[in-house]
Every structure is written in structure tokens, then in C-alpha cells.
Structure 1
Amino acid sequence: MRSQQPHCNSSSGDYLYDEIKMQNAMIIIPTFLAFSTLLVVSVIVWKTCRRRKDAESEPIILLEDGIPKQDRNEYDSLPTATATERILAFKDSLLAKWELPKDRHIQEEEFLCLGRYGQISRATLIQTSSLGPSLSVVLKKLPVATSPQEMKDFIEMMKFHIKICNHASLVKVLWCQSQALPLCLILEAMSLGNLLCFLWQTHQGDLSIKEHIYDLTEKRVFAMAIQIAHGLEYLTASQKLIHGDVAARNVLLHQDMTVRLCGLGLAGEVYRRGVLPSRKAAEVPVKWLSPERLLKRPVTAKSDVWSFGILLYEMITLGAPPYPALLPSEVFSRLQRQHLMQKPKQCGNNLYRIMRNCWQWKASKRSSFSQLINQLDSHMPHANGAEPLTATERLDLSDYQRIAGVSPGEAPLKLCL
């Protein structure tokens, strides 16, 4: 029996050791489970708050069916001439601050195209009381023979541009003419004009434009994209608006490679009405539209993000039409099957990843413009800045119109002829 005593002592020690291990386990396991639960709950709460914050920061624009009804106003019952006189006599406090000074005169008007309200022209602005340099401008003019309602709409459009277009990446307002006919909005002219036309010129190998040589590289595409994204972030986050027609045809380019967003007609409609008329929304070519817009669902900032990805494709391909192998009528069915455009030849992996992120079917999965700015900025140092972008295939305007689904009457296309 004595020889078995050590064995009994050993068993007692093992029992105490096992008991201590069990006690530790009873403390550690609940603690770990509690911590894990707390972590999971925290992540869920964070994601919910983030989703709610994103939803609050994104404007949700409803589509309005049919033609918007115009509110009756004091001019409806008046003869056109009398209504026109009263409209011109009314001095709006905002427009008065931007009225064209008496000593500045518009000369050398050159017709560019027809816009939503009438003629758009390039012109020269001179100051008669000074020998200073003349200024190149763009004019948006309303025809003299127009209705009082159209005059009121045009005045509201001018006020929209003055109030909203005060960002470095949006087309800049210089002056207006609201107290004399023709009503006119005077905008800053960008020396290289429309980005789509510039891309086409580069595509055709004409890098020498206005006695300057412009080598468009992937790095420059990043730099221009960052500027455009800043403008879109300002519209969507600060002004609670959408652009609605993000495309190379609605970007202007200066000789120092700074860019400005233009084509703000849909944003103006949202600003004035709080909704987007379906008839006007349908004028945007199909290949630039997000799935939710093709399905005629409410539009958000993430709808512009999708179009921004298409714009990146336009820039890196030097103005090639999106989905080059598809007709516009074929796009939606292919998107439903998760068909996305392949990576262009001269597009780096980082830029293509950003493009694909913009083309997530679910809008909530797409990056915001602030996130896109950070992504573009972080990847730009690694982009190719040495080799100019080139293209071997030739562009034909009629083929482009057919493949892109763009109307022959689109103003920028006329400028490219």
C-alpha cells in the first residue's frame, strides 16, 4: 500500500491542475465570446451607421413622368410684348450683381451649336474704356422671339449657374444679360474646347493643337479624372444634386490640362423642380446609363458614379464608344448577365479596378466620389506617365453615332466635324 501512495499524490495534483485549467477556461471562453459578440455588434452598428450616413449624403432624385406642368404666373394673361417689358424691367438682386458692365461689348460671335435654349457661340469680349487684352467667352443666348415662359425658364437657368457653378471643376460664369434682349449667359471659354473632340484629335494622331503638343498619358487621365470627380463630389455631396449626363462630351479642356464640367441641364432641372423629368432623362444615351436608370428607378449620386466609370473608359481609349461590340439595344441584357467591358490595351490594372468598381450592379457597392478621389490620387504616382496613349483603329463619325447611340444633332459631335 505504501508503494502506491506516490501514485495517489500524483493523481491529486493532476486533479487540482485540471480543475485550475477548467476554471481558467470558464473565465477565458465567456470573455472571448463576449468580446467576439461585442466586436460583431460594433461592426454591424458601424456598417449600419455608415450606410445610413451615405444614404443621407446621397441625393435621391425621383423621376417625373410626363411633361412638367408650368405654374401660372402674372404674365400668362398679358400680351407677349407687355410681359416681355415687365420681365426685363424687373431687377433680380442676384442677376444684378452679375450684369454685363456697360463698357464691355461682345464682338466676333462664331456659331458653335444649338443648345437647350438656343444658340451657343464663341465670342470675344472687349472693354471699350481700356486697352487691356480681349477675353474669349462662350455665349448662351435665348432667341428674341420667344415666349414669356421661356424667358422665365432661361432666367432661372442663369440663376442656377450663378448660384451653383462656383467650383473650380465646373464651367465658370462671367456675366449675364438679364435686362436687355437677347437674354444671355456669358461663360468662360476653355482654349481646347470639348474633351471628346480633343480625344478624337489625339486618336487621329493630331497631337499638335494650336501650336502646342499634347501627349496624353495614363497619368494625365488620372489627373483629369481627379478634377472631374471633385466637381461631381461638390454637386452631389454639397449641393444634393446629380449631374445626370457624365460623359466626355460634357467636359471642357484648357491648354494647361485643367478641366471643367458642363452640360448641367439635368442638374438645373433637379435644382428647380426637385425631380428629374423622365422625358429629359431619356435623352441621355443608353451606354452611359446605370442599371437603375435603365430600369427607370430613382437616381442617386451612385448613378453618376457608374457614368464616371464610362468616362474613364472614354479617356483611356481616346474617345472610343463604350461597349464597342454592342449596339445600344443590346447593352441592358448583357449587363443583366454581368457583362462588363474588358480592360483596354493601354489601361493599367489600378485604373481598370476603379472602372469596374464604378460598374457594380448594386449602387450601394460602388464607391462614393470622395472615395474615388482617394483611390485615383493614391494610384496616380504608379500610372504610366512616359508613353503617350495611341490608337491604331480609325474613328468614323457615322459609325461612332451608330455604335454609341448618340444623336447626330449632339452639339459636341458637330464641333468635331
Structure 2
Amino acid sequence: MAVQAQCNISSGSDPACYDEGSGPLAVIIIPSLLALSTLIVVSQIIWSFVTKRSSAQKITSSSSNVNEREHVQLDAGIGSLRPANVLGPLELPVQCTLEGVEVLQMGRYGPICMGQLKQDNTSTAVMIKTLKDRSTQSESAEFMDLVLFHAAVSKHENIVKLLFCQTRRTPMYLLLEASVPGNLLNFLWSLREDRCGESSVFSEKSVFLVAKQIAAGLDYLHSHHRVIHGDVAARNMLIGSAFSVKVSGLDFAFESRQKKKVDREQEANVPVKWQAPERMMRLPLTDRSDVWSFGILLYEMITLGSPPYPDLDPSEVLPRTLAHYRMKRPENCGAPLFDLIKYCCMWNFKDRPVYSAIIRLLDSYSYFADTKPLCSEVQIDVSEYKKKAGLPS
């Protein structure tokens, strides 16, 4: 009786506190429940492992599909670019034809040509970048990326526009809008032969007008797409009627984005007289490096296409620039414009203005700009120019 009383008081979970009639049942049920709960826990662990592994495989498969069939985003500004979605509307319509095609030069991927695009009884001047025959699969894929790049960044009035492309069959090519008169550098040279603007009045005020458009295009490239042009110069700008200007020459920008870096071969294609000090010293390229080149471009325009640093050979530019050498104020260049040139060409890239500030300064300075036509009696010898400018012959 004492033992029975003790068991009634103590916890019923104690195995010793069962009477003789319930003992065998407890011996069977309790181990079974323990085994069942263990089995459930193990099953949950196994199921969780299998589920996670399956999800990982799906993600890997999805990434593989993206790499094989889709062009992932260039950056947050450009967004996801898929050929089916982006290039479909840009494929050359069947009713369009190309006429008068002339080869200008050989490019990275194939011949670069000029021609006329015929569409609905209208004719448009175009530049044609083609992919050479017998290109490798890698070259074809890179050319497709070039088309996508132009499709993404050409949505601004001051960026050369991608009109159409042909990627569904060979030969593959893209059509970029051309301008008349065309290349800004050649236009500036033509003004020297125009006897001080008899047919086209290009003044210091015109320099501000053109410069503002170029700055707006470069600002768009960087602020919307994180694209650094890398080769800002008059030779890479297109000028049209009423001095409308578009930024062109985006090959350097595309190649550096593809490779995720700037290699020596790319850098060698940019003449040293247009390079900022940090570029000469092989330091990282920034948008402010473009601002330095923009200052050189202002010098080109106010001098009607003279080579920068006219008193220096290309080999002398680096040591003289390191010694803080600066170009002299050109003839016909007002103080506000020369101040802007010096501001853009500050030694420390952090001291140079951003494009939005440049645009504001161009707006305010234009009120003080001279309106008389710029002129120069010195004609340009192209071979001598290339030598002084450090351009390939």
C-alpha cells in the first residue's frame, strides 16, 4: 500500500509507476512512438535536402540557359536585352534596299561602308558595319552583342542611332544613321577653305551650341548606362544640318565593356594628345577622363581642327603633362571658353566638372560668346596633321 501511494503521487511518466496490468502495453507503445517520431524527423531531413538540391539544379540550369540563349543585362541602366524582344523591330524590312555601298575601311569585325538606305521612296545616308564572311562562332556572338549595345544606348537625340540590323541571315550587318556634312573634324577643316564662313557661319557661339549637345550625349551614356566613351574627339562626332551633333565612335566603349577592362591594344588606338594624365599613367579610366578629352575637343573646335599641343610631338606629351604643362589660349578663344577648357583639363580628375555642370556653364557662357565667323588661312595637310596629332597614317 505504501508503494501504491507513492506511485499515485509521483509523475505518471515514470516507467516504474505502472501497475502489473498495463506494464506490457507500455513496453510496446512507448518504443513504437519513439521509433515513429525518429522516422518522421529523418524523413523531413531527407525531404528538405532533396528539395534544396532540386532547386539548386533548376537555378544552375536557368543560368546555363541564360548564358547560352539570352543576352543578360549590360548594367542596371540598360536592362535585359533579348534578341527576340529587342532586335525584332529593328530587323531590316524586306521592302528596304541598300544602294551605292562603298567600303570606307576595315573594322574589327569586317568592312565598314557608306551607302543609301531606300525606303518608301526616300533615301537615307547610312553607315554599314558588317560581319566578315567565315567568322567564328565567338565573333558572331560578339557582333550580336555590338548590335544589342547600339540598340540599348542609341535612345538619345545626341547619340548616333541604330536604324536597322540584319542578324537573321548572312551577311550580318547593322545600319547606323549618317549625317551631312558628317564627321565634325572634316567639317572644321572645310571651314578653313570656306573663306571665313561665306557658306556656313561657324562662330565661337556655334562652338558652345555644338559642345552642349556633345556634353548631353556623353552625360546620357554615363548617367543612364554607366558607359565611358573613352575616345572623345572631333573625329568621333557627327554634325548635321543646323549644327545638330551626335556622339559616335563607340567602339572603344563597347570593347572595354565586353572585356570588363581596358587593355593596351585598346589604349593604343586613342592618341595620347587626347588622353587624361591618369590614362597616360595606366590608372583606372573614369567619366572624368572623358571630361579631359572633352576639353581637348573644345580646343579642336575653336581652332577649326588644329591638332592639340601643336608645339609638342606626341612623345613629349606625357613628360610635359606630368610637369603640369598647359596649352596656350588659342586665337579667337574668349576668356570664358578658355576657362572652361582649363576647368575640364584639371590635373586631378576629382577637380574636373561633371557633365551636368559643363552643360550649365555652356549655357551661361554662350551669352558672352563672339558671333563672328571663325576662320583660318592655314590649310590642313592631312599627313602632317596625323603626324602631329599622333594618329596612325
TM-score range, shorter chain: 0.7 to 0.9
1:116 Cα deviation after fit: 2.5
Give the equivalent residue in structure 2 for 1:116: 108
Give the equivalent residue in structure 1 for 2:231: 245
Give the equivalent residue in structure 2 for 1:232: 218
Structure 1 residue identity aligned to 2:157: A
Alignment of 1:15-414 (within 5 A): 92-127=84-119, 130=120, 132-205=121-194, 213-385=199-371, 387-408=372-393
1:404 Cα deviation after fit: 0.5
1:124 Cα deviation after fit: 1.5
Structure 1 residue identity aligned to 2:324: Q
Measure the CA separation in 2 of the matches of 1:91 and 1:372: 36
1:105 Cα deviation after fit: 1.3
Give the equivalent residue in structure 2 for 1:32: none
Confirm or deny: 8 A CA contact 1:201 1:207 kept in the other structure: no
Structure 2 residue identity aligned to 1:173: L
Measure the CA separation in 2 of the matches of 1:144 and 1:155: 15
Give the equivalent residue in structure 1 for 2:72: none
Distance of aligned partners of 1:339 and 1:152 in 2 relative to their CA distance in 1, 3 Å threshold: same
Structure 2 residue identity aligned to 1:155: M
SS in 2 for 1:134: strand
Q: Structure 2: which 5+ residue stretches go unaligned? A: 1-66, 70-81
SS in 1 for 2:114: strand
1:236 Cα deviation after fit: 1.5
Question: Please, what TM-score do these two structures have when normalized by structure 1?
Answer: 0.72
Give the equivalent residue in structure 2 for 1:18: none
Confirm or deny: 8 A CA contact 2:196 2:373 kept in the other structure: no
SS in 1 for 2:375: coil
Higher relative contact order (CA 8 A, sep 6+): 1
Distance of aligned partners of 1:175 and 1:206 in 2 relative to their CA distance in 1, 3 Å threshold: farther
1:393 Cα deviation after fit: 2.3
Structure 2 residue identity aligned to 1:405: G
Measure the CA separation in 2 of the matches of 1:97 and 1:395: 43
1:395 Cα deviation after fit: 1.7
Confirm or deny: 8 A CA contact 1:241 1:270 kept in the other structure: no
Measure the CA separation in 1 of the matches of 2:183 and 2:175: 17
SS in 1 for 2:117: strand
**Which has more radius of gyration?**
2
Measure the CA separation in 2 of the matches of 1:335 and 1:169: 31
Give the equivalent residue in structure 2 for 1:23: none
Confirm or deny: 8 A CA contact 2:83 2:148 kept in the other structure: no
SS in 2 for 1:110: strand
Structure 2 residue identity aligned to 1:126: K
1:206 Cα deviation after fit: 6.2
1:282 Cα deviation after fit: 2.4
Confirm or deny: 8 A CA contact 1:203 1:319 kept in the other structure: no
Give the equivalent residue in structure 1 for 2:41: none
1:281 Cα deviation after fit: 2.1
Measure the CA separation in 2 of the matches of 1:331 and 1:91: 44
What percentage of residue pairs aligned between the two structures are identical? 40
Measure the CA separation in 2 of the matches of 1:206 and 1:193: 20
Measure the CA separation in 2 of the matches of 1:227 and 1:395: 26
Measure the CA separation in 2 of the matches of 1:281 and 1:165: 24
1:199-242 C-alpha deviation (Å, 9 max, x unpaired): 1111233678xxx9211100001000000000111112221120
Structure 1 residue identity aligned to 2:271: P
Confirm or deny: 8 A CA contact 1:221 1:315 kept in the other structure: yes
1:248 Cα deviation after fit: 0.4
Q: Structure 1: which 5+ residue stretches go unaligned? A: 1-72, 76-89, 409-417
SS in 1 for 2:262: strand
Distance of aligned partners of 1:357 and 1:144 in 2 relative to their CA distance in 1, 3 Å threshold: same
Give the equivalent residue in structure 2 for 1:35: none
Question: Please, what TM-score do these two structures have when normalized by structure 2?
Answer: 0.77
Structure 2 residue identity aligned to 1:278: R
Measure the CA separation in 2 of the matches of 1:104 and 1:207: 41
Structure 2 residue identity aligned to 1:105: T
